[in-house]
Amino acid sequence: MPTGFGDLIAGRWTVARRKLLRLRAMLRWMFSTRSIGADRIRDVVRLSPLAMTISIINALLSTWGLWGSVDSGPLLIWLFATLALCGFILYRWTKIRKRRVDRVSRRVINRVSVYTAVLALPWAWLTFAYVGSVPVQREAILLGIAAGMSAGGAILMARVPPAALTFLLVFLTAFVGKCMIVGGIYSIIALFTLVYFGFLCAIVFNYAQLLGERDASLRTMGVQMAALNKARDEVAKLAAFDTVTGLANRLEFNNRMQEFSGRVLREGDCMHLLLLDVDHFKNVNDTMGHSAGDKLLRTFAERLRDTSPGDAVVARIGGDEFAVLVSDTAVSGDIEGLAGEILEELSRPTDVDGLSVTSACSIGVARFPHDAADCEKLMSYADIALYGAKEAGRREVCFFDSQMHRNIQTADSLERDLRDTLGEGGFEMFYQPQFDLATGGFSGFEALIRWLHPKRGLLAPNMFLPLAEERGVMLEISDFVLSRCCEDLQRFLDMGYDPVRIAINIHAAQLKQPSRLLEHLDRIERTPELAGRLALEITEGCVIGRGTEGIPRLLTELRDRGYEISLDDFGTGYASLTHLKELPVDEIKIDKRFTHGLFDKSHNVAIVKAIIDMAQALDIRVVAEGIESEEQRVMLAELGAHVGQGYLYGKPAFRTRILKYLEGERAYPPPGETLVSAG
C-alpha cells in the first residue's frame, strides 16, 4: 500500500509538473515578440476609437451614478481627467492609424502595455476611492461598471497578452487592496474578485492561444497562397512567354494581335506586322551547340526589343523566327526606316562564348488592313513576304504585294502537279556528254532530270527541284532518277553501246536515309556491269547540318563498293577544302561560274588554277562545267583540268538523241584539229 500510494503521489506530481512546464512555455511564448504579430497591433490600433468611446460612456454613467452621494469636486476632476486621457489617446490614434506596422519589437509591446496601464489608472482610482464609502445601490452601479470595464479591456487587449495582464493587474491591485482595507464582507468580495480575475486571465490566455493558432494558420495559408500565386504566375508566364528570350510566344502574340487590330480600327490607324527569320541559324546550332544558339537568340531578342517603338509587340513565334507588331502612328509612317534599322542592328557581330558570330536576318512585312482584313491572313501574307526576302538573297526586307500571293498560288498548283506526276511518270532523264580535255575522247554523261509538264512544256530542274525539296517530295524524285538511269544504262548495254560512265546526282535526303539508298544499290549490283559504270555526285550541302554525321562513313562504303564519288559545284561553299580532306572524293567539278568568268577577271584564273593544282596533288580528277567556247576549253586544258562539260560539247538530250556519242561518231575537237597539251 505505501508503495502504491507513493507511486500515486509521484504520478500526480509528474502530471502536475508537466502542466506547469507547459504553462511556463505558453507564458513565455505569449510574452515573446514571436507570438504577437504586426496584425494584432494593427487590430488594437483599429479598435482604439471604439474602446475610447466605451470608456467615455462609462465615465459619464459612473459620474451620474455617484453624483449626490460623494463630494462632487474630486468626482468632476476624475471625469475631466478620464475624458482628457481618452481625448489624448484618440489624438494619438489619428497620428498613427495610417502608419504601417510590419514588425513587432519588445519596445512596441512595452509601449502598448504602458498605454493600457495609463488607461486603467482612472478606473482603478475610482474603485479605490469609492468602494465601501457610498450607498449600496450606488456601489452596485460602480462595481458593475468596473467589472464590465475590466472584462472588456482584458478581452480587447488579449491580442497583446502583456498589455491585457497589465490592465487586469492595475484593476486587481486597486480593488482588492481597497477591499482588504475596508475589511468585513469586503474581504469575501476580494476573494470572489480574485476568482473573477483568474477567470479573466484564463480567458485572456485561451483567447491569445486561439489567436496564435489563427496567426500560425494564416501565416501557413499566406505562405501557401504566395507559393500558389507564384506558381500560377509562373504557369501564366510559361503559357504566354518564351522561356529562352522572355518575349511573348506565339499564343500570346496572336492574342495581342487581335487586341491591337481592334484598337487600330477604332482609331482609324493601321498596323504593320514584321516577321523576322535568323539567316542560317541552324548552322550555329549545328556547329556551336544549342546553348550558343540560345545566347544568340537572347541577344537578338534584346536588340529587337531596344530597336522597336515603346508600344510595339515583340515576340518569338518559332525556333529562329520573331515577330514585331507596330502601329503606323508609332513609326510616323516610316515602316521602311524601322525595318532597315532592325536589319542593321541585328547584323552586328555577336559575342558567343568568346567567338564573334555575324548572323543577319530576313524580314517580311504586311499591313493591316491594307493587305489583309483579318489577323490570320495578315500572318500568312507576312510569311509570304518573308519567303520573298529569303528568295531575294537573305538579309533583305520584303513588303507583301499581290504578285507574291499569285506566286505562292502558282507554287501550290505546281506542287499538286508535281505529286500527280510522281504517280503518272511525267519525268524524263536527259544526258549531257563529258569529254577528256587532253585527248578529246568521249568520257561519259551526267544525268539531268527534266519534267514534261502537260501545260508548261519541258521544265529544267531549277524550275521544280527547289519546290520539291521545300515541299518534301525530293526523296521520291531521287528514287526515280536512280531507277530510270539504271534502266537507260541497261538499254544502252543491251544495244551494244558502252556509255563509259553515267554521273547521277544524289540528294542529301537520300544520304540521310542510307537504308533506302543502299536497298536501291543492292538491286543495281545484281547486274555487275551497271554498278561499275555509275558515279554518284553530291554537293557540300549533303554533308552540312544536323543528321549528317554518318554521311562520310556512308560515302566510304559506297566507294568501297565500286562507285566513284564526285563533289559537285566545288568552290561555291565555305567548307570545300575541309571536305576534300575528310570525304572519300574521286572527282571534283568546278562550278560553271568560275568557267564563265575565266576571262572577266585575272584572279578567276588564279582561283581555278589553285583548285586544279590542289586536286592534282591529292590525285583527284577535275571536271570543268559550263564550257561554252573554244577559248574556255583551251584555257582549262592548259590549266590542267581533266574533263570538260558544257554547251560546247552538247546540250542535255533525251537518250535516243545521244546515241551518236556512243557510236563513236563524235570526238572533240573534230578530226584534223590539234589538241592543246594539258601540260
Residue that wins the pLDDT comparison between 209 and 247: 247
Share of the chain above pLDDT 70, in %: 89
* pLDDT on residue 21: 61
* pLDDT on residue 622: 93
What CATH class does 427-662 carry?
A: alpha beta
The answer to whether the CB of 378 falls within 8 A of the CB of 371 is: yes
* pLDDT on residue 35: 58
What is the C-alpha to C-alpha distance for residues 217 and 220, in angstroms, rounded to an integer?
A: 5
Establish whether the linkage from the previous residue to 669 is cis, with ω within 30° of 0: yes
The answer to whether the CB of 160 falls within 8 A of the CB of 109 is: yes
Res 33 pLDDT > 70: no
Res 623 pLDDT > 90: yes
E strand or H helix at 588, and its extent?
strand 587-590
Res 218 pLDDT > 80: no
What is the C-alpha to C-alpha distance for residues 241 and 643, in angstroms, rounded to an integer?
A: 58
pLDDT band at 472 (very low <50, low <70, confident <90, very high): confident
Which of 91-105, 354-368, 453-467 comes out lowest in average pLDDT?
91-105
How far are the Cα atoms of 105, 514, 539, 541, 571 from residue 575, in angstroms, in the given order?
Answer: 72, 23, 11, 10, 9
Instruction: Considering the domain delimited by 250-400, tell me its CATH architecture.
Output: 2-Layer Sandwich (3.30)
Q: Is 347 strand, coil or helix?
A: coil
* pLDDT on residue 355: 77
Burial category of 51 from C-beta neighbours within 10 Å (exposed 0-12, middle 13-18, buried 19 and up): buried
The answer to whether the CB of 437 falls within 8 A of the CB of 623 is: no
* pLDDT on residue 578: 64
Q: What tens digit of pLDDT does each residue of 518-537 get?
A: 888 888 888 878 878 899 99
Q: What angle do CA 285, 291, 294 make, to 5 degrees?
A: 80
E strand or H helix at 428, and its extent?
strand 427-436
Backbone φ/ψ region at 664: left (φ over 0), alpha (ψ -120 to 50), beta: left
Which amino acid makes up residue 445?
A: F
**DSSP conformational letter for 598:** T
* pLDDT on residue 569: 81
Residues 6 or more apart in contact with residue 79 via CB below 8 angstroms: 59, 60, 63
Counting other chains too, the contacts that 256-264 makes at CB distance below 8 Å and 24 or more residues apart are: 256/313, 256/315, 256/325, 257/313, 257/325, 257/375, 257/378, 257/379, 258/375, 260/313, 260/325, 260/327, 261/368, 261/369, 261/374, 261/375, 261/378, 264/327, 264/328, 264/368
Residue for grid cell 539531268: 448
Res 15 pLDDT > 90: no
Res 243 pLDDT > 60: yes
* Mean pLDDT computed over 395-413: 83
Q: Is 553 strand, coil or helix?
A: helix
Q: What tens digit of pLDDT does each residue of 68-90 get?
A: 788 888 888 888 988 888 888 88
What is the C-alpha to C-alpha distance for residues 86 and 63, in angstroms, rounded to an integer?
A: 16
What is the C-alpha to C-alpha distance for residues 497 and 663, in angstroms, rounded to an integer?
A: 7
Considering the entire predicted model, what is its pTM? 0.53
Query: What mean pLDDT is reported for the chain?
Result: 81
Res 314 pLDDT > 60: yes
What is the C-alpha to C-alpha distance for residues 455 and 410, in angstroms, rounded to an integer?
A: 13
Angle between helices 2-31 and 161-182 (to 10 degrees): 120
pLDDT band at 446 (very low <50, low <70, confident <90, very high): very high
The number of residues making up the chain comes to 679
Q: What tens digit of pLDDT does each residue of 625-650 get?
A: 999 999 999 999 999 999 999 999 88
**Dihedral (CA of 234, 239, 245, 247) sign:** negative
Res 667 pLDDT > 60: no
Q: Is 677 strand, coil or helix?
A: coil
pLDDT band at 678 (very low <50, low <70, confident <90, very high): very low
Highest-confidence segment of 40-54, 88-102, 484-498? 484-498
Q: What tens digit of pLDDT does each residue of 126-149 get?
A: 888 888 777 877 878 877 887 787
E strand or H helix at 457, and its extent?
strand 457-459
What backbone torsions phi and psi does residue 105 show, to the nearest 5 degrees?
-110, 170
By C-alpha distance, which of 172, 162, 159, 155 is closest to 113?
162
What backbone torsions phi and psi does residue 314 show, to the nearest 5 degrees?
-115, 135
R_g of the chain computed on alpha carbons: 49
* pLDDT on residue 26: 53
* pLDDT on residue 514: 87
What is the C-alpha to C-alpha distance for residues 367 and 309, in angstroms, rounded to an integer?
A: 17
Give the CA count within 13 Å in the CB-facing half-sphere of 372: 23
Res 435 pLDDT > 60: yes
* pLDDT on residue 624: 93
Report CA 101 to chain centroid distance, whole Å.
Answer: 40
What is the C-alpha to C-alpha distance for residues 585 and 85, in angstroms, rounded to an integer?
A: 105
Which of 281-295, 462-476, 635-649 comes out lowest in average pLDDT?
281-295
Res 513 pLDDT > 80: yes
**C-alpha cell at position 523:** 538491286
By C-alpha distance, which of 305, 291, 453 is closest to 357?
291
The answer to whether the CB of 652 falls within 8 A of the CB of 434 is: no
* pLDDT on residue 104: 66
By C-alpha distance, which of 188, 193, 217, 67 is closest to 124?
193
Which amino acid makes up residue 592?
A: K
The answer to whether the CB of 328 falls within 8 A of the CB of 267 is: no
Highest-confidence segment of 127-141, 242-256, 592-606? 242-256
DSSP string for 170-195: HHHHHHHHHHHHH-THHHHHHHHHHH
E strand or H helix at 278, and its extent?
strand 271-278
Burial category of 155 from C-beta neighbours within 10 Å (exposed 0-12, middle 13-18, buried 19 and up): middle
